[in-house]
């Protein structure tokens, strides 16, 4: 799929979307549609019409999954412990996931996971499935860290917290039972953006870098005229109006949103970053900037494994108990992570 900028369609976005593929939700796979339909029965209020507090209270795909499974989700052989990590402006809430079947006495790999939500919403509970799956599939200890959110704490508060969580994980690797020399960073949406920024800052400050980056539907550009923003203006659970809402909440103004930490696809200094696995969804406004980020990383000499999964939407990755392509995507990520940890 193209990652070329599309400009000049501001007045005719709906007609452009119809011309280029029609209703995006008509292309959703049956298993993905089932989860979305269950979410719709909960009548969530459109996020773009919510205050930040209201948005955080809306049902999510994780809520829908729980309803489908009738709260029958298991811990999948992964133990979870709540932690408070020291941050630049107070404690950072975190969860530490440890697979129970790991070899006794061995130091395990480490993964820092950062959830999505456009720097405004999302929490450790609604994004439990991904870090739990990463721990189960790789045998790694996964630290899932929260961070300060906008509009109460605007950019770059979340970026500062995420880097503090990375440093804490590395510095406390032995206490966690992990191996600081085998550590990766992973994230979804806004969290994927922060994972890249962790690697950049670690490189520049000469601290331990991630061995691998897992970037799921990353925010990497903020240019709302990319093709996928036009095609998915009315997609669910994320649409273009919601991304605009996130940007207004997260940043103090348009100039702040152009910060190079956000506009990753425009950077020329990504060389020296670790290998990256990018997981993208076809029916997602963020798809094009994910594809553009993959291209930018490759031009910088970074090894990239990028897959756009058709027929699924934003936030599909954590739905492996229902959605087949989530299982494939998780297997792809686990394979690449385990390969990185074994080097």
Domain boundary assignment for the chain? 10-342
Q: What is the mean pLDDT of residues 220-243?
A: 93
How many angstroms separate the CA atoms of 186 and 180, rounded?
A: 15
Q: Residue 320 burial by CB count (10 A; 0-12/13-18/19+): exposed, middle or buried?
A: buried
Mean pLDDT of all residues belonging to the chain: 92
pLDDT band (50, 70, 90) for residue 224: confident
Per-residue confidence (pLDDT) for residue 101, from 0 to 100 = 75
How many angstroms separate the CA atoms of 224 and 40, rounded?
A: 26
How many angstroms separate the CA atoms of 132 and 253, rounded?
A: 36
The answer, yes or no, to whether residue 104 has pLDDT greater than 80, is: no
Per-residue confidence (pLDDT) for residue 13, from 0 to 100 = 37
Q: pTM of the full predicted structure?
A: 0.93
pLDDT band (50, 70, 90) for residue 73: low
pLDDT band (50, 70, 90) for residue 17: very low
Contact 287, 281 (CB under 8 A): yes
List residues bridging with 280 in a β-sheet. 308
CATH no. for 10-342: 3.40.50.1820
> What count of Cα atoms within 13 Å lies in the side-chain half-sphere of residue 341?
23
238-269 pLDDT, tens digit per residue, is: 999 999 999 999 999 888 989 999 999 999 99
Contact 190, 184 (CB under 8 A): no
Q: Does residue 237 sit in helix, strand or coil? A: coil
How many angstroms separate the CA atoms of 130 and 148, rounded?
A: 20
Per-residue confidence (pLDDT) for residue 70, from 0 to 100 = 85
Q: Which range has the worst mean pLDDT, 9-13, 186-190, 253-257, 313-317? A: 9-13
Contact 155, 252 (CB under 8 A): yes
Non-local (6+) Cβ contacts of 37 within 8 A are none
Contact 107, 179 (CB under 8 A): yes
Q: What is the mean pLDDT of residues 141-145?
A: 98
Contact 322, 37 (CB under 8 A): no
Where are the extended beta strands (E) located within the chain? 78-87, 90-99, 108-114, 141-145, 178-188, 213-216, 276-283, 304-313
User: Which stretches of 207-322 are DSSP H helices?
Assistant: 227-231, 240-250, 254-257, 287-299
Name the percent of the chain lying above pLDDT 70: 92
Per-residue confidence (pLDDT) for residue 72, from 0 to 100 = 58
């Amino acid at each position: 799929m193209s990652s070329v900028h599309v400009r000049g369609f501001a007045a005719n976005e709906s007609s452009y979307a119809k011309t280029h593929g029609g209703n995006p939700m008509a292309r959703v796979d049956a298993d993905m549609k089932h989860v979305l339909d269950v979410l719709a029965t909960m009548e969530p209020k459109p996020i773009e019409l919510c205050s930040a507090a209201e948005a955080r209270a809306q049902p999510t795909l994780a809520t829908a999954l729980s309803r489908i499974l009738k709260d029958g989700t298991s811990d999948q052989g992964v133990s979870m412990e709540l932690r408070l990590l020291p941050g630049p402006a107070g404690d950072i809430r975190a969860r530490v996931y440890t697979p129970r079947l790991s070899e006794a006495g061995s130091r395990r790999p480490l993964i820092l996971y950062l959830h999505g939500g456009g720097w405004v919403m999302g929490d450790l509970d609604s994004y439990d499935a991904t870090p739990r799956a990463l721990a189960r599939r790789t045998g790694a200890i996964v630290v899932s860290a929260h961070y300060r959110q906008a509009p109460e704490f605007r950019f770059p508060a979340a970026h500062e917290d995420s880097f503090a969580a990375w440093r804490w994980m590395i510095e406390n690797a032995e206490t966690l039972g992990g191996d600081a020399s085998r550590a990766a960073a992973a994230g979804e949406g806004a969290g994927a953006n922060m994972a890249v920024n962790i690697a950049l800052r670690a490189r520049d400050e000469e601290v331990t870098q991630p061995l691998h980056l897992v970037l799921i539907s990353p925010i990497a550009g903020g240019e709302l005229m990319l093709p996928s923003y036009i095609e998915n203006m009315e997609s669910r659970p994320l649409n273009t109006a919601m991304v605009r809402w996130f940007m207004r909440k997260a940043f103090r103004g348009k100039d702040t949103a152009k910060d190079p930490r956000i506009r990753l696809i425009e950077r020329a200094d990504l060389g020296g970053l670790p290998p990256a696995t990018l997981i993208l969804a076809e029916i997602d406004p963020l798809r094009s900037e994910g594809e553009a980020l993959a291209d930018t990383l490759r031009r910088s000499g970074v090894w990239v494994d990028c897959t756009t999964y058709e027929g699924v939407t934003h936030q599909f990755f954590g739905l492996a108990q229902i959605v087949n392509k989530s299982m494939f995507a998780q297997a792809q990520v686990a394979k690449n992570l385990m390969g990185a940890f074994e080097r």
